[in-house]
């Protein structure tokens, strides 16, 4: 019986890999002299030789993997190829692990794929796990798709990583195919696969399918419950999430934190505080540092200083106050509650200051619009050998743009250029925004033209800047250029466009763009868009159209909308429309004294003293003081209300002062005015 011939070398290896393997072969293997005897001695039984060689090579590969020894490992690989055992079940997994440990994913994939139908699922699972560990989700799905094409069947260890990849890619179609295969091959009893299915459907937003799989599971563990609860929380279905949370047998702190974090993301800060309070109770699971961080963020965003201080005390008792994330959250919470002294003391008390703690205090100064303090802290950070990152510079640029400190903004621009940070698209967009809001449109356009990627944010900042300078036609030209470049328009861009039309008096263009927003771009109008249209009509004296859009819009009008309409009515003498808007504004009982001042100004101009007396009485009841303010229209029409502020805050028993005398007032009207203000 003739022994079976040795398998030929694999043809699928590329020339590059063959050359690398050849370089790894010892010289005596390449230059060995031929045997003198024409008939070589009979080899030992092939099974025994192959078995011995495969186990030895597998052990050597394991050693090379542990030591990350590339050259010896490639020598072993070459030996395995020469002996024809590279696809052996004990060698191929070691080869895949070796190349994955080195981070050479193409070599690992080549080694696995060359085995074709000889390989089992385990080497492929190693390759898939390597892709998943590095977040290469598309490669995970691609490798899974290659398995059946090469005659390799997936097993129950393959599916969890592939399902996770489907969830990260938001591709539920492949996940449904896996579910059908699981049911066919009876892998349904594996908890890992079922949990991965629930998590995949939840991440893809297919909550009905996720709940169907969840309800059909023969058994559930804490991962199953967490996946379902977090799915509801991510979709904003808080009722279902909390209802399911109550059913979790022995729900751990992770599940509670998921629901609390979801409420925080959705802006339900009161619900976050309630959940944290329930976790602290005797029936709750207790608190960990993540719970404290979530609670502090909710307190900071809603201004709950007392509850924030309680959580600070909890953090001290549980020894969480020295953790970096807790320190940053405490600094942010106190700064948002306008307690900058406490934030500063906490920062100074930090034993180890990281970039995150510096940025947290800097963001606090920015939140309080304390420019000089922020600049001093920025310089101290550089002197302390902390180099500002993108977050630091974005915070400083945003602050400079908001308060109009162009000198500090230019200082940040110089720092960016000096340290070679101008390649960052975020920083370029922030520079465009800063110069646009400061009215420096030439500088803004220069930075915009130098930007490598002119995206939606850069265009929006430039459109808004030109609009504020009453260059509405330039704004519309940029908007058309943006559409021509296939840049997607969002609701913020449309606010900038409508605002530009408003400041430039482009009524027809504003109406056209408002209609395009709905019909062409499919953007549902928000309150901000209606507010721009109201401002546009009010500036041009189209007060009935402004009132009509307020009455017909699907939202309740804001106080700012009504205040703008009232001021326009005072300017154009439309007291009837202004009176209706004033009644709606007064019914809101806002705490802004400026709104009542606008109503009072309108009634003074119309000489309607009884209504003025009611406004004065309402302000006395609400204990509001009259302070100077102005609407958006005042700068447009160059109206100075300094005299009116003086006029409203001072009551003269003998009549009007000399500088405030109006020839249209009669003596009886002076008396009525004085009585209206309690003189």
pLDDT of 117 reads 62
Question: Looking up tokens 């699907």, which residue turns up?
Answer: 554
Report the alpha-carbon distance of residue 92 to residue 96 in Å, rounded: 6
Q: What's the CA gap between 555 and 535, in Å, rounded?
A: 16
Instruction: Give the Cα separation of 602 and 311 in Å (integer).
Output: 48
Distance CA 346, CA 321 (A): 10
Instruction: State which H helix or E strand residue 664 sits in.
Output: none
**Planar angle of CA 387, 390, 392, nearest 5 degrees:** 65
Q: 21-29, long-range: CB within 8 Å, 24+ apart, which pairs?
A: 21/74, 21/77, 21/78, 21/81, 22/78, 24/71, 24/74, 24/75, 24/77, 24/78, 25/75, 25/78, 25/82, 26/75, 29/82
Tokens of 655: 């009549």
Write out residues in the chain with pLDDT < 50, as ranges.
Answer: 1, 7-11, 32-38, 44-52, 627-679
Taking the C-alpha atoms of residue 2 and residue 250, their distance in angstroms, rounded to an integer, is: 68
Cα torsion angle, 356, 361, 364, 370, sign: negative
Tell me which DSSP letter residue 249 carries.
T
Sequence-ordered list of residues with C-beta below 8 angstroms from that of 255, at least 6 positions apart, any chain: 222, 225, 226, 229, 245, 248
Tokens of 613: 């007396």
E strand or H helix at 315, and its extent?
A: helix 305-317
The span from the CA of 474 to the CA of 506, in Å, is 12
Residue 248, CB-side half-sphere exposure with 13 Å CA sphere: 26
Cα distance between residue 203 and residue 207, in whole Å: 9
Q: What is the secondary structure of 547-587 as a DSSP string?
A: HHHHHHSSSPPPHHHHHHHHHHHHHHT-HHHHHHHHHHHHH
Angle between helices 121-133 and 92-102 (to 10 degrees): 10
Residue 613: predicted pLDDT: 83
List the one residue out of 634, 653, 654, 652 whose CA is nearest residue 642. Answer: 634
- 10: helix, strand or coil: coil
Two tokens at 330? Answer: 């405490």
Cβ contacts of residue 121 below 8 Å, gap of 6+?
Answer: 147, 152, 153, 154, 155, 157, 158
Q: Tell me how far apart the alpha carbons of residues 617 and 611 are, in angstroms, rounded to a whole number.
A: 10
Residue 652 sits at φ, ψ, to 5 deg, of -105, 120
Distances (CA, A) of 69 to 72, 123, 254: 6, 20, 40
Strand, helix or coil for residue 663: coil
In angstroms and rounded to an integer, the radius of gyration of the C-alpha atoms of the chain is 36
Residue 151 burial (C-beta neighbours within 10 Å; 0-12, 13-18, 19+): exposed
CA distances from 636 to 132, 224, 470, 564, 630 (A): 58, 60, 10, 12, 11
pLDDT at 660: 34
User: Which of these, 79, 180, 196, lies nearest to 132 by C-alpha position?
Assistant: 196
Using one digit for the tens of pLDDT, what is the confidence trace for 315-362?
999 899 889 999 999 999 999 999 999 999 999 998 888 899 999 999
pTM for this prediction: 0.61
Return the biggest CA–CA distance within the chain. Answer: 138
Torsion of CA 289, 294, 296, 297, to 10 degrees: 140
Give the pLDDT of residue 312.
93
Q: What are phi and psi of 10, to 5 degrees?
A: -60, 135
HSE, side-chain direction, 13 A CA sphere, residue 20: 13
Cα separation, 650 vs 246, in Å, equals: 61
């Amino acid at each position: 019986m003739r022994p079976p011939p040795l398998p030929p070398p694999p043809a699928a290896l590329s020339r590059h890999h063959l050359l690398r393997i050849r370089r790894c072969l010892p010289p005596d293997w390449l230059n060995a002299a031929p045997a003198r005897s024409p008939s070589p001695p009979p080899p030992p039984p092939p099974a025994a030789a192959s078995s011995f060689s495969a186990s030895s090579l597998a052990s050597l590969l394991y050693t090379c993997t542990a030591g990350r020894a590339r050259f010896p490992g490639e020598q072993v690989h070459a030996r395995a190829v020469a002996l024809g055992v590279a696809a052996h079940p004990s060698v191929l997994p070691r080869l895949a692990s070796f190349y994955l440990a080195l981070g050479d994913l193409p070599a690992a994939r080549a080694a696995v794929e060359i085995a074709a139908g000889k390989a089992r699922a385990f080497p492929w699972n190693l390759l898939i796990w390597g892709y998943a560990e590095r977040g290469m989700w598309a490669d995970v799905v691609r490798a899974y798709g290659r398995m059946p094409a090469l005659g390799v069947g997936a097993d129950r260890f393959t599916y969890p990583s592939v399902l996770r990849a489907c969830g990260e890619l938001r591709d539920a179609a492949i996940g449904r195919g896996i579910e059908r295969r699981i049911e066919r091959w009876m892998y349904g009893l594996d908890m890992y696969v079922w949990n991965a299915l629930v998590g995949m459907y939840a991440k893809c937003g297919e909550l009905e399918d996720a709940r169907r799989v969840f309800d059909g599971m023969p058994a559930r563990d804490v991962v199953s419950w967490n996946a379902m609860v977090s799915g509801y929380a991510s979709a904003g279905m808080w009722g279902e999430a909390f209802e399911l949370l109550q059913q979790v047998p022995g729900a751990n702190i992770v599940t509670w934190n998921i629901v609390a974090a979801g409420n925080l993301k959705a802006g339900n800060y009161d619900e976050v505080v309630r959940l944290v309070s329930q976790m602290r109770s005797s029936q709750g699971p207790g608190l960990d540092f993540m719970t404290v961080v979530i609670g502090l963020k909710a307190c900071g965003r809603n201004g709950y200083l007392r509850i924030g201080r309680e959580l600070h005390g909890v953090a001290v008792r549980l020894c969480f106050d020295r953790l970096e994330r807790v320190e940053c959250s405490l600094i942010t919470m106190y700064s948002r509650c306008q307690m900058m002294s406490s934030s500063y003391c906490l920062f100074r008390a930090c034993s180890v200051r990281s970039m995150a703690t510096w940025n947290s205090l800097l963001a606090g100064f920015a939140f309080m619009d304390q420019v000089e303090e922020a600049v001093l802290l920025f310089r101290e950070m550089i002197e302390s050998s902390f180099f500002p990152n993108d977050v630091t510079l974005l915070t400083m640029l945003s602050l400079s743009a908001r308060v109009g400190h162009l000198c500090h903004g230019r200082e940040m621009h110089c720092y960016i250029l000096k340290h070679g940070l101008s390649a960052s698209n975020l920083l370029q967009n922030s520079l465009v925004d800063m110069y646009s809001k400061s009215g420096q449109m030439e500088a803004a356009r220069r930075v915009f033209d130098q930007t490598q990627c002119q995206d939606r944010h850069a265009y929006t900042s430039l459109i808004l800047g030109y609009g504020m300078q009453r260059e509405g036609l330039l704004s519309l030209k940029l908007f058309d250029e943006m559409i021509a470049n296939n840049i997607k328009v969002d609701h913020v861009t449309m606010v900038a466009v409508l605002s530009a039309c408003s400041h430039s008096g482009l009524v027809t263009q504003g109406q056209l763009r408002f209609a395009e927003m709905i019909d062409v771009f499919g953007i549902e109008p928000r309150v901000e868009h209606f507010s721009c249209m109201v401002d546009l009509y009010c500036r041009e004296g189209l007060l009935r159209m402004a009132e009509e859009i307020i009455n017909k819009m699907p939202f309740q009008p804001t106080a700012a909308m009504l205040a703008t309409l009232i001021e326009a009515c005072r300017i154009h003498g439309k007291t009837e429309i202004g009176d209706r808007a004033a009644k709606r504004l007064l019914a809101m009982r806002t705490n802004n004294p400026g709104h009542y001042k606008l109503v009072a100004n309108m009634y003074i101009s119309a000489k309607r003293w009884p209504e003025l007396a009611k406004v004065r009485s309402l302000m006395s009841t609400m204990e509001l003081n009259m302070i100077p303010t102005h609407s958006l229209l005042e700068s447009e029409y160059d109206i100075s209300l300094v005299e009116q502020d003086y006029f409203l805050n001072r009551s003269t028993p003998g009549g009007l002062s000399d500088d405030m005398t109006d020839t249209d007032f009669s003596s009886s009207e002076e008396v009525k005015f004085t009585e209206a203000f309690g003189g």
